[in-house]
Structure 1
Amino acid sequence: MRVFVTGATGWIGSAVVDELMASGHQVVGLARSEKSAQALAAKGADVLRGDLDDLDSLRRGAAQAEAVVNLASKHDWGNPAETDRAERTSVHALAEALAGTDRPFVVAAPLSGLVQGRPATETDVSPAVGLDSNRGGSENLALSYVPRGVRTVIARFAPSVHGAGDWGFVNFLMAAARKQGVSGYVGDGATTWSAVHRDDTARLIRLGLEQAPAGTRLHAVAEEALTTKAIAEAIGRHLGLPVVSVDPQDAAAHFGFVGGFLAKTMTASSDLTRQLLSWKPTGPTLVEDIESGAYTAAG
């Protein structure tokens, strides 16, 4: 298939491009800079210049493709409203271009905020609806196009999609440990996160693109529940730093914006995903990645 990928040179997107091309698909990657365009071209992918605010480019890329994978996000932690707006408008533009085609539309979504008190499952409906909700309610918006002839597939990512080069939450925790001279966790460290290796995530997206029925929600989760204390202990072992508890009131000052996430349990099951696609994660665990030096450059 000719697959249009947004976020094609990002942390997850670059692995997805490699996975798709290795499986015989032709990739067209959205590139907002000359550096990104060159990186895509060097892999043998086609390039479409534009960004999330260039809706005409998004529509053109979707209209000329046989499938779309939407991985791009502004991830503007200082202005979440702008992140939400850009995500909603870009998903809307892509979905409109695909309406009536029955073509696959894989949309990335977070696992955080779905449920409380238990791991989220693929049957849980996102409570985010509308522009003012998390990620602009883009998951439900994309799914609303299923009756309009779009094979929407939601790919929900664990809070830690890890591996060498990861710039996400664990990268910020590593940087905070270097800065503070201690590896910290919030409170008793009993809050838990799910995790998955980047390569396993890329393979899941390809399988979902190729096989998942319209309206499917997939969970990119390898480790269902890893305590934040265990993450801090792995960072402490790797850096040779003491491991300490940080009072919840001091979390923002100690960790920066990621402190708020560190205090939240964000877990999910992937049982239905594994059954549907015969997907079996094979990559290293998060602790293995930390201890092997995958985050050495952080900070």
Structure 2
Amino acid sequence: MKTLLTGGTGYIGSAVLEALVAAGHDVHAVVRSERAAHRVATAGAVPAWVDLRDVDAVSAALASMDGAVHAAAPADGADELNATVVDAAIRAFGDGRARLVFTSGVWIRGSGRDLDEDGTLDRAPDLVAWRVPIEERLLDSGVDAAVIEPGVVYGRGRGLVRLIADGPRTPGGAMRLIGDGGQHWSLVHVDDLARLYLMVLEHERPPRRVIASDGAPTTVRAIAEAIAGPGRVVPEPPDVTRERLGSAFADALMLDQVASGARARAIGWQPEVERVLDDLVRDRPAA
């Protein structure tokens, strides 16, 4: 399959690139620099010089593809970029001839102890609320589209778990939590997530929305104690966390989310790393 990939040098996208190439896809990875072009070429993809903020350029790039994965996540202007990609996809894939796998995030569902894909999308925090109307416009179009909603992604020494590990310490050396640490994060290892993207892209009839969760939601406190040791963590007042990380980001990190990822398993996906705590223990240096 000739597949256009955005975000191929990013955290999630680079793992997706590896999975696509390993599965035999003819991957054309969007790049903006010579350095990025070298990285994707080394990984086995064809560099595609496309301005993702230019709807005509994106539409033209999609026109020759059999499918596409949108995993780009710029630090600024992500709403504008995602809207442009959706506009281009509707133009190029609007007749349903090719599939677009689109990246969202489980944060759009707000807090909840039994989150699934059939729930409402009216509780998204400010940080990600902009995603919902863009994604719904895509899903309401004629594009053969699927939206993946990753939980908190970790693995390969990166991801938001590093916010805990690299967070501030008390004078006595205890690790400060994000808020009180009682909130659950629904997590997914980046390599397992990449395999889900591949599966959704290739599936005959995938769900329109798929939550990517390892099925073992874990509290921030438990993650911190796995890193620092039992009793070596202290809660942080929410207002202090907001001041430290910014209100919008902190409020997203303090969401209490329990999602099983059952719909992904229903199409055959099974995470190989099923608990973030196992991964942390495995990677912990020997004493």
TM range, normalised to the smaller chain? 0.7 to 0.9
| Deviation string, structure 1 residues 63-119 (Cα, Å, up to 9, x no partner) | 11000111112133xxxxx32222222222223211114211100111113154333
Q: Paired residue for 1:287, among 263, 266, 277?
A: 277
Percentage of matched positions with identical amino acids: 30
Residue aligning to 1:164: 156
Q: Distance in 2 between matches of 1:133 and 1:230?
A: 28
| Deviation string, structure 1 residues 168-217 (Cα, Å, up to 9, x no partner) | 32222322236985322245422111001111111111111111526621
- Say yes or no: does 1:264 pair with 2:260: no
Q: Paired residue for 1:199, among 174, 188, 191?
A: 191
Deviation, structure 1 residue 10? 0.9
TM-score of the aligned structures, taking structure 1 as reference length: 0.83
Q: Distance in 2 between matches of 1:92 and 1:215?
A: 21
Letter in 2 for 1:262: L
Q: Distance in 2 between matches of 1:175 and 1:35?
A: 28
Deviation, structure 1 residue 261? 2.7
Q: Paired residue for 1:242, among 224, 232, 235?
A: 232
| Deviation string, structure 1 residues 256-277 (Cα, Å, up to 9, x no partner) | 56433332113322112211x2
| Deviation string, structure 1 residues 205-231 (Cα, Å, up to 9, x no partner) | 111111152662112110342111112
Residue aligning to 1:79: none
- Say yes or no: does 1:141 pair with 2:148: no
Deviation, structure 1 residue 125? 4.6
Letter in 2 for 1:57: A
TM-score of the aligned structures, taking structure 2 as reference length: 0.87
SS in 1 for 2:109: coil
Deviation, structure 1 residue 284? 5.7
- Say yes or no: does 1:230 pair with 2:222: yes
Q: How many residues were matched structurally?
A: 279
Q: Distance in 1 between matches of 2:273 and 2:98?
A: 30
Q: In structure 2, do the counterparts of structure 1 residues 189 and 133 end up closer, same or farther at CA, with 3 Å as the change threshold?
A: closer
Listed as ranges, the gaps of 5+ residues in structure 2 are none
SS in 1 for 2:116: coil
Letter in 1 for 2:212: A
4+ residue stretches of structure 1 with deviation over 6 A?
A: none
Contact 1:48/1:57, CA 8 A, preserved across alignment = no
Q: Distance in 2 between matches of 1:144 and 1:219?
A: 19
Q: Distance in 2 between matches of 1:189 and 1:267?
A: 14
Residue aligning to 2:109: 114
Letter in 2 for 1:14: S
- Say yes or no: does 1:218 pair with 2:210: yes
Q: In structure 2, do the counterparts of structure 1 residues 75 and 2 end up closer, same or farther at CA, with 3 Å as the change threshold?
A: same
Q: Distance in 2 between matches of 1:241 and 1:50?
A: 50
- Aligned-residue CA RMSD in angstroms? 2.6
Q: Distance in 1 between matches of 2:27 and 2:15?
A: 12
Listed as ranges, the gaps of 5+ residues in structure 1 are 77-81
Contact 2:179/2:241, CA 8 A, preserved across alignment = no
Q: In structure 2, do the counterparts of structure 1 residues 279 and 249 end up closer, same or farther at CA, with 3 Å as the change threshold?
A: same
Letter in 1 for 2:61: G
